[in-house]
Amino acid sequence: MRFKLLCRCASALCFAALLFLVFNPPVADAQGGEPQYFAIRGAKVFPVSGPPIEGATVVVSRGIITAIGKDAAIPPEAWVIDGKGLNVYPGLLDSFTDVGIPAAPPAGGESGGPRRPQERANGPEDRPASMPWRSGADEANLSDKRIETWRNGGFTTVICAPKGGFFPGQAAVLDLAGEHAGDMVVKSPVAIPVSFQGTSGFGGGFPDSLLGVLSYIHQVWLDTDWSMKAQAIYEKNPRGVARPRYDRTEATLAEALEDHALVLVPANNRVQLRRALELIERWQVNGAIYGGQMGYEVAPEIAAKKLPVLVDLKWPEAEKDADPEAKPSLRTLQFRDRAPSTPSVLARSGVKFAVYSGGIGAPKDILKAAKKSIDAGLAPDAALRAFTLSPAEIFGVADRLGSIESGKIANLVVMDGDLFEEKTKIKMVFVDGRRFEVHEPEKPKDQPKGDITGKWKLSYTTPEGAEDSTADLTMDKDGTISGSLTSPHGSANIISGSLSGDKFTFTVNIVLDQGPTDVTFDGTFDGTSLKGSIAVMGMSIDFNGVKPGNAASGVATQGGAR
Amino acid sequence: MRTTTMLNASRLRSPILYVLCLLYLICLPYSASAATPPEAPSVVLIQNATVMTVSHGTIEHGAILIKDGKIAEVGQSIKAPAGAQVIDASGLFVIPGIIDCHSHIAAESINEGSVSVSSMVTMEEVLNPDDIDIYRDLAGGVTSANILHGSANSIGGQTLVIKLRWGQPASKLPFEGAMPGIKFALGENPKRSNFSSRGQPQRYPATRMGVEETIRGAFSEARDYKKAWDDYNKRVAAGEKNLIPPRRDLKLEPLVEVLEGKRYVHSHCYREDEILMLLRVAKEFGFKVRTFQHVLEGYKIADELAAAGVGASTFSDWWAYKVEAYDAIPYNAALMTRRGVIVSINSDSAEEATHLNQEAAKSMKYGGLSHDEALKMVTLNPAIQLGIDKRVGTIDVGKDADLAIYNHDPLSAYAVVQKALIDGRVYFDREKDIANRPEIEKEKKALTEKLKKAEKKPEEKKSPEKKPEEKPKPPAPASTPTAAVASQGGAL
């Protein structure tokens, strides 16, 4: 019997070893995982915690930075990377996002415990749109395609929280790589975001206005406070005392507050910012502001309260497809003009701030948006800090990441030039010491036939019925396609795209009901029209594209009433 | 005497001028986009004006001395102290700043319409100091306004009185020391029988009886809540340990304040029966109604209103816009006044508030009130109703220097506000406003050009980036376009 058992164990072991070999082949060019010792030699290193060091070596051992400096000893087992002409930065942090959470959770409660069905709330006691127990750490999943997109853009770490509702859930610090979802989690929870965005609308359930939302959140904090106190009193002497009611919202918030989680409060314009300062004071929580784009007006007031700000890098722009006669107000124009100056004003006023992607869909555009702030007066090293050490400090993980220091997590970005230069290319990214080579988006093989630039109306039939989208495409000489897609489900920038010969392809990431989803358009371009298929969630949908106004297409101009 | 001045158009012969006045009001929004609060001179002297004090008659060629925002002297001729800012008001008319007892301006959100008792919400939290309507109303001579929650609920949100300090942050708007209020609403709006959202169950109550029951129910709860806290506090005071305190309830706390006389009730209403109902409920629970708002059938029960000591804040001549407004008459304000009710004329609309002076004047035509009685309807009377008459509402020594200066008798249709002062600071100056317009247009144009270049296809821009901002301008207030203003309809 014992022998049999041994045999079984041995065969299991063999099988496991085989599996290991299959899935972790010990070849050098494998993505992620192998080898575990690196030395980048002779690079310009930006530790952020100190001044840049020319010709320095960074040693990475089993996920940790073990040495940095001009004379850092290179261990014999390390894979040496020639860093000549390369810049090494700490891995970038996106300070507030849901990258890492692949899709909206199922409505039912089959796995995550009972979820409150979306019923009409009749008051705060019904806890409308509140799921503070959800967590970026629990819902993180490597299947989110954006993980790779973000990583390839130099982002090694995100502050990730679920979205939706007034208490959408808790934020966690995630590293954007791992074998299992759990590998990603650096710390959790680090923050409790709140939102003032309701969904019910006027006449729906409580709350249906900003007024109601604020009163609701006040009541929740009061209840949480009461719950903590009442429970403690009850535990001391339960006899003869009515037992305080258990409430999941109160219980999870109480626990998160005990973990010193930051409460993230939305505020973008000056009225909202000043209101947020008052709210944080009233709630008596460790607060931080997200949004912050009009910080240039109220920076000293924020500084006086010593509150950190997460600045949304999706700068305000002219309204798309606005009435051509509509003239924006001076305030609107000023806001659009000055928003990118907010980081520099915050820096001057001594406000601790970090930056986040906001609604930006491509990492390249995140850095481009940051460049606007540099152009508006932000020192480049301060900009770098806002992507690295500052968010690490704000979220309490500066002891383990955010800078290139011995003992910290080996999150690194290696580039062939300055981080904020548009031409600079990312060569490789290290996440937890795993090396990821960044492949340039594939260049079109053949010279493009014709110019695909322009506004295209794409028509197709989804399972729900006929639908149109507009693709606004811009093609470079080499056939690289950029631009945006506007669909009934929302708009998104094109992540990658090209025209090679007469074959085109472009991909966007759009938030569908199921969550953020990659949608790829493939097909042929005959000079005047597009024909091809849309790949989305395993489906393939045929589509036709025409340029409205193009006589050859035989389609009347959009909105071209005669 | 002034009645004739006001009613015949002899002062302004040309109708073109009237059109110009209207045009001027329409143009205002474009000229006030960048607000910075005005300077605060410590001494201001307004002289050579026709001063309509409201409390003690009209002073021809009068003067008002203002020191540190308060009226220091009112009289015929006052010598300008050294360093005083002098406003020559020759040919101009000064009245106390207009007080609008029913306003929905300056708020990002008006109605929490989901529940029939929404006393947990408070207008103070959603004040929007960047609302252009503040400036427009200021240009109509309004210096204080009672900012009310909407009328979707039997018991609505908490309200407050603000001063129209355009350019100041939200925290500087509240009228210091003014009693906070709460909005109630009776009749069609709270019973929601005329409103239903698709797919949504109809909200209780659906009848006037239900409205009464809702208010009664809420105050019963509030009474219990107060008792629970009183009991708890008593037991703690007696030295009991380890007691679990009652939960704080933001919905009931303001109702307890009403019961304790620490919060005014401003109740939207139309019909006499519902008005009398609320008076009975108030008596039963031992609280006072401070004002009835709209109160279009007030003339039918003027004696009861006077006996209850409750204020009436009504419209000048709006009627028949809904079924419960069918019995409204333009004589309402005058009739109630004659029976001893304190009556004010309110706007309930940002536009109406720009000419409350004219609305007040209508009570002279309909009901024959005197010039001063009419003027009181938008100055002293609303001040009394809001409990701020010690501070504002008349031109008297010691009061706040909240003043409106007109080019004609303020009860004339030709009168246009030239300046509006709050706390002795000129928050609206018509001349300056007009003078600033070209520059604002210029700045808009320059910014539009600059943004067009910056926002459109930055990749194609081959030329190197320009140096950041040649000369940084002092930051002027602005408001984000993303801040959607959720004004969910008025509260008629």
Mean pLDDT of A343-367: 95
As a residue count, chain B comes to 492
pLDDT at B200: 66
Mean pLDDT of A496-505: 88
Q: Between B113 and B370, where is the model more confident?
A: B370
- d(CA A244, nearest CA chain B) in Å: 9
Give the three-state DSSP class for A302: helix
Q: Between A496 and B66, where is the model more confident?
A: B66
- Ramachandran region of residue A410, left (φ > 0), alpha (ψ -120 to 50) or beta? beta
Rounded CA-CA distance A496/A486 in Å is 16
- d(CA A369, nearest CA chain B) in Å: 11
pLDDT at A472: 87
- Residue A465 sits at φ, ψ, to 5 deg, of 135, -175
Q: Select from B110, B120, B136, B462 the residue whose CB has the most chain A CBs within 10 Å, as the one to mutate to test that interface.
A: B120
Residue A38 has pLDDT above 80, yes or no: yes
Rounded CA-CA distance B240/B233 in Å is 10
Residue A364 has pLDDT above 70, yes or no: yes
- d(CA A198, nearest CA chain B) in Å: 12
Residue B104 has pLDDT above 70, yes or no: yes
Cβ contact A123–B34 (<8 Å):
no
- d(CA B434, nearest CA chain A) in Å: 16
Cβ contact B476–A334 (<8 Å):
yes
Contact B69, B423 (CB under 8 A): yes
Cβ contact B481–A335 (<8 Å):
yes
Q: How confident is the model at residue A7 (pLDDT cuts 50, 70, 90)?
A: very low
Contact A115, A109 (CB under 8 A): yes
B117 to chain A: closest CA residue = A123
Give the three-state DSSP class for A30: coil
Mean pLDDT of A518-537: 88
What number of C-beta contacts closer than 8 Å exist between A and B? Answer: 198
Q: How confident is the model at residue B478 (pLDDT cuts 50, 70, 90)?
A: very low
Cβ contact A206–B448 (<8 Å):
no
Q: What is the pLDDT of residues A260-280, one digit of tens each?
A: 999 999 999 999 999 999 999
Residue A44 identity (one-letter amino acid): K
Structure-block tokens of residue B243:
């007691």
- d(CA A19, nearest CA chain B) in Å: 48
- d(CA B334, nearest CA chain A) in Å: 36
Rounded CA-CA distance B382/A377 in Å is 51
Query: How far is CA B96 from its chain centroid?
Result: 15
Q: How confident is the model at residue B354 (pLDDT cuts 50, 70, 90)?
A: very high
Rounded CA-CA distance B349/A135 in Å is 45
Q: What is the pLDDT of residues A226-250, one digit of tens each?
A: 999 999 999 999 999 999 999 999 9
Cβ contact B111–A209 (<8 Å):
yes
Q: Between A101 and B483, where is the model more confident?
A: A101
Cβ contact A318–B120 (<8 Å):
no
B112 vs A212, A226, A275: nearest CB: A212
- Ramachandran region of residue A25, left (φ > 0), alpha (ψ -120 to 50) or beta? beta
B112 vs A211, A229, A271: nearest CB: A211
Structure-block tokens of residue B168:
């100041």
B chain contacts of residue A473, beta-carbon cutoff 8 Å: none
Cβ contact A316–B482 (<8 Å):
yes
- The mean predicted confidence, pLDDT, of chain A is 87
Residue B163 identity (one-letter amino acid): K
pLDDT at A307: 98
Structure-block tokens of residue B367:
């009901």
B113 vs A203, A244, A335: nearest CB: A203
Mean pLDDT of B106-135: 96
B chain contacts of residue A269, beta-carbon cutoff 8 Å: 130, 478-480, 482-483
Query: How far is CA B231 from its chain centroid?
Result: 39
A chain contacts of residue B156, beta-carbon cutoff 8 Å: none
Residue B464 has pLDDT above 50, yes or no: no
pLDDT at A198: 73
Mean pLDDT of B461-479: 40
- d(CA B263, nearest CA chain A) in Å: 18
pLDDT at B480: 36
B chain contacts of residue A316, beta-carbon cutoff 8 Å: 480-482
Cβ contact B109–A338 (<8 Å):
no
Q: Select from B114, B123, B232 the residue whose CB has the most chain A CBs within 10 Å, as the one to mutate to test that interface.
A: B114
Cβ contact B128–A271 (<8 Å):
yes
Rounded CA-CA distance A484/A479 in Å is 16
- d(CA A143, nearest CA chain B) in Å: 32
Cβ contact A337–B157 (<8 Å):
no
3-state SS of chain A: helix, strand, coil percent to 5?
25, 30, 40
Alpha helices in A1-115 (DSSP H): 2-23
Mean pLDDT of A54-83: 96
Share of chain A above pLDDT 70, in %: 85
Q: Between B488 and B417, where is the model more confident?
A: B417
Q: Between B89 and B463, where is the model more confident?
A: B89
Q: Select from B241, B479, B485, B488 the residue whose CB has the most chain A CBs within 10 Å, as the one to mutate to test that interface.
A: B479
B chain contacts of residue A362, beta-carbon cutoff 8 Å: none
Mean pLDDT of B282-300: 98
A472 to chain B: closest CA residue = B457
Q: What is the pLDDT of residues A393-444, one digit of tens each?
A: 999 999 999 999 999 999 999 999 999 999 999 999 999 999 998 876 666 6
pLDDT at A361: 86
Residue A21 has pLDDT above 70, yes or no: no
Residue A113 has pLDDT above 80, yes or no: no
Residue B334 has pLDDT above 60, yes or no: yes
A210 vs B109, B195, B454: nearest CB: B109
Cβ contact B33–A376 (<8 Å):
no
Terminal alpha carbon distance of chain A: 90
Q: Select from A314, A330, A474 the residue whose CB has the most chain B CBs within 10 Å, as the one to mutate to test that interface.
A: A330
Share of chain A above pLDDT 90, in %: 66
Mean pLDDT of A470-479: 85
A207 vs B114, B243, B475: nearest CB: B114
pLDDT at B30: 39
Whole-Å CA distances, A194 to A162, A279, A395: 11, 12, 16
- d(CA A388, nearest CA chain B) in Å: 25
> Where is B58: in which H helix or E strand?
strand B58-67
**Which range is least confidently modeled, A526-535, B286-295, B412-421?**
A526-535
Structure-block tokens of residue A175:
């590293």
Mean pLDDT of A289-312: 98
Give the three-state DSSP class for A511: strand
- The mean predicted confidence, pLDDT, of chain B is 88
B195 vs A203, A216, A219: nearest CB: A203
A chain contacts of residue B203, beta-carbon cutoff 8 Å: 203
Contact A65, A408 (CB under 8 A): yes
Residue B368 has pLDDT above 80, yes or no: yes
Contact B402, B393 (CB under 8 A): no
Rounded CA-CA distance A304/B80 in Å is 41
Q: What is the pLDDT of residues B406-444, one digit of tens each?
A: 999 999 999 999 999 999 999 999 999 999 999 999 999
**Which range is least confidently modeled, A313-322, A548-557, B206-215, B251-260?**
A548-557
B200 vs A203, A233, A335: nearest CB: A203
Q: What is the pLDDT of residues A172-189, one digit of tens each?
A: 999 999 999 999 999 999
- d(CA B311, nearest CA chain A) in Å: 27
Structure-block tokens of residue A36:
């575990």
Residue B474 has pLDDT above 70, yes or no: no
- Ramachandran region of residue B366, left (φ > 0), alpha (ψ -120 to 50) or beta? beta
Q: How confident is the model at residue B288 (pLDDT cuts 50, 70, 90)?
A: very high
B480 vs A207, A218, A268: nearest CB: A268
Whole-Å CA distances, B379 to B58, B402, B462: 15, 10, 62
Rounded CA-CA distance A278/B253 in Å is 20
- d(CA B173, nearest CA chain A) in Å: 12
Residue A192 has pLDDT above 90, yes or no: yes
**Beta bridge mates, B267:** B184, B292
pLDDT at A438: 85
Q: Between B470 and B439, where is the model more confident?
A: B439
pLDDT at A495: 76
Helix axes B15-31, B430-455, angle to 10 degrees: 50
The verdict on whether omega for the bond into residue B201 sits within 30 degrees of 0, i.e. cis, is no
